[in-house]
Amino acid sequence: MNLHHALGQHHTAPGDVAPLTRPARIVAPDTACDLIDEAFRTDTDLTCLAVRPRPEDEKRRWGLISRGPFMSAMAGRLGYGRSVHARRPVSVLTDWDALSLGSETSVAQAAQQILTRDRASRYSEILVTDVRGTDEVPAAGSERDGACHEVVSFLEVEDVLRALAAELTHKALTDPLTQLANREHFLQQLHSACVPTAGPSSHVVVVYIDIDNFKAINDGYGHSTGDLVLQQVAQRLRTAVRPEDLVARLGGDEFAVLAQMPVSSHQPVAAWAHDIAQRLLMHLSEPMHVAGRTLPGQASIGVAIGAAAIGVDRPLEASVLLHEADLAMYGAKAAGGARCAVVDGTAAPAVTTALAPDRSELQDALDDGQFELHFQPIVDVLTGRLSSTEALVRWNHPARGLLSPVAFLGDVAAVGFAANLDVHVLHLALTQHARWRAEYGSGAPLHINVNLSVPGLLHPDLASMVLAELACVGLAPYVLRLELPEVATTAHIAAAAESLARLRGAGVGLTLDDVGSGAAGLAHLRDLHLDGIKIDRRFVAGMLSDERDLAVVRMLVQMGCELGVAVTAEGAETQAHLDALRQLASLGPGPGLHVQGYAIARPAPAGQVGASWLARAS
């Protein structure tokens, strides 16, 4: 697996639509339809044509002829379309209200216009115009209308959605200061690297790097200088590793490298890992020239080697491997810094490794009631009224204590138990909501949000199971809001389309979770009939300090209003977040903006959700 390429080689997607455009063939509005028909039939790669503005059109609007609608019109329902339209001017079959954008339109703005446009008038192409001076040369391959001095090209709708998905995904996986992978993406890739494979497995090596005396740099020269140091460290790390290695900023002045030793290498893995650490140490030890100052380069490095890959009889766990590298780094720092320490895994492990659960253990845990729910409120950001609660699963493990979802959901999915857990969580959530309804009546929340995993989404009896659970506890379908995973692909959604249509037809609400965290969400916004979307917490958390995060949140709020779906901003941690979201809530009419996060309340067991909390329900 090429870990470096998993992050797109740290390149960002284009900010505007211009790089995505293709040259447009231009025709006059009085061109006969039979000539256009011949052009489409002889050139199978021709998808659309731009039609010059009609002389009588004062607005000078360009028109669009798209292959599919045009060929359908020429065929006609009874096969007489060509007889009717052959000699007519193409202007009669032209879409004069086609979506037309300027070349400087951002990808996000283009996607927003696509998704909020009436479904009946959505074509697969968009016209793009670029007004130029008469002495300017048009872009290569584009065509210019001599009278209007416009360069005309076109976009594929799918290209726009893919580009925006790439931007959002890149943002979700990237540290904004250094453009390295962020902690979450590093852990995802480390977890994937630790999964056993059928063939020969390579040794997994984690390198943990901490900049020595970084606090003194921040305190003495200011955080702006500290940021420049971090950016220079990031660049040196990129230079020192192979293209297939993954470099990440974990937070503060802590960095990490994930590398896999080639299976074909005959070098001892401990020596190979030590060479990596020494190479990184050499690059980081050079003096740094920052803001007119020369600062010493110094770092402490810890290295951990995947124990499972070198013969130790224990499974490889990503979080433990990272922790061992962290401990090794602190050992190097305690020894004076500016050095590296390697834990090769053949000695006693630095921490105790918990065995990954199998299906039988998970089933026993489910039967014993070890999986429990905590509930977090979702409130209207303007009124503060409680509209829903989200059910969040926890594992009260007999040996490891109360585990958050991050600690076990990966293992649950790996052994094929995710759909079973989904059914159990749904039953617990609906049962608890029915209790609140019985105890508090109209004071209880109107809705309950329950998450679906991808396997749960694909359950063949999903609709029947959900409706049966609702009937069993005596709740109306509208009470339930199923949160669909943003990581589901378009193929997953297509496979579940019948179940989702049946659920929505019965009144169950469908909400798309974590919008912006993956590449498929924009296609889901286009293809699904949704009742709500939830903005990924990364963008909400960063909106106070990063204009790009704020722009994404603003765009999704506006898009939700125009699509007529409720928007929930996850991850509101402070009063400042609430204040900023209240300002965005006034952007337009619609189902409104809701908010969820520690600024409202932390998730709590049902027994700690008291009457005063529920009294906020709308």
Domain boundaries, the chain: 18-165, 175-343, 375-614
Other C-beta atoms within 10 Å of 523: how many? 16
Cα-based torsion angle of the residue sequence 521, 522, 524, 526 in order, rounded to the nearest 10 degrees: 170
Asked if pLDDT for residue 93 goes beyond 80, the answer is yes
Q: Tens of pLDDT along 148-183?
A: 457 789 999 889 988 888 888 888 899 989 999 999
Q: What is the pTM of this model?
A: 0.59
In one letter, which amino acid is 451? N
Q: Which residue, 206, 193, 191, 330, is CA-closest to 256?
A: 206
How sure is the predictor about 369, in pLDDT bands with cuts at 50, 70 and 90? very high
Average pLDDT, integer, range 309-329: 70
Q: Could you give the percent of the chain with pLDDT greater than 90?
A: 40
Backbone phi, psi, residue 103, to 5°: -65, -20
Report the C-alpha gap between 27 and 90 in whole angstroms.
9
Asked if pLDDT for residue 348 goes beyond 60, the answer is no
Asked if pLDDT for residue 371 goes beyond 70, the answer is yes
Cα of 545 vs its chain's centroid, Å:
20
pLDDT for the residue 198: 53
Highest mean pLDDT among 136-140, 270-274, 326-330, 472-476: 472-476
pLDDT for the residue 474: 94
How sure is the predictor about 356, in pLDDT bands with cuts at 50, 70 and 90? low
Q: Which residue, 202, 203, 141, 164, is CA-closest to 15?
A: 164
Residues 6+ apart with CB under 8 A from 75: 81, 82
Asked if pLDDT for residue 315 goes beyond 60, the answer is no
Termini Cα distance of the chain: 50
Q: Tens of pLDDT along 526-578?
A: 767 888 889 888 888 888 887 878 888 888 888 888 888 889 999 888 899 89
Asked if pLDDT for residue 197 goes beyond 70, the answer is no
Residues 6+ apart with CB under 8 A from 189: 3, 6, 181, 246, 258
Cα of 575 vs its chain's centroid, Å:
25
Cα-based torsion angle of the residue sequence 428, 430, 433, 439 in order, rounded to the nearest 10 degrees: -90
Which token pair is 437?
């309804």
Interior angle at CA 470, CA 469 and CA 474, nearest 5: 120
pLDDT for the residue 9: 37
Average pLDDT, integer, range 237-253: 94
pLDDT for the residue 384: 86
Q: Tens of pLDDT along 42-65?
A: 999 999 999 999 999 888 899 999
Check if CATH label 3.40.50.10480 holds for domain 18-165. Answer: no
Average pLDDT, integer, range 251-277: 88
Average pLDDT, integer, range 228-255: 95
In this chain, the answer to whether the domains covering 175-343 and 375-614 adopt an identical fold is no
pLDDT for the residue 141: 37
Contact call for residues 275 and 253 (beta carbons, < 8 A): no
How sure is the predictor about 140, in pLDDT bands with cuts at 50, 70 and 90? very low
pLDDT for the residue 71: 93
Mean of per-residue pLDDT scores for the chain: 83
pLDDT for the residue 201: 63
**pLDDT: which is higher, 334 or 34:** 34
Average pLDDT, integer, range 389-416: 83
Q: Which residue, 396, 397, 423, 421, is CA-closest to 410?
A: 421
DSSP-based helix, strand, coil % in the chain, nearest 5 = 45, 20, 35
Other C-beta atoms within 10 Å of 378: how many? 26
pLDDT for the residue 253: 94
Asked if pLDDT for residue 357 goes beyond 70, the answer is yes
Asked if pLDDT for residue 351 goes beyond 60, the answer is no
Contact call for residues 594 and 387 (beta carbons, < 8 A): yes
- Looking at the structure, give the CATH architecture of the domain made up of residues 175-343: 2-Layer Sandwich (3.30)
Check if CATH label 3.20.20.450 holds for domain 375-614. Answer: yes
Interior angle at CA 245, CA 244 and CA 249, nearest 5: 140
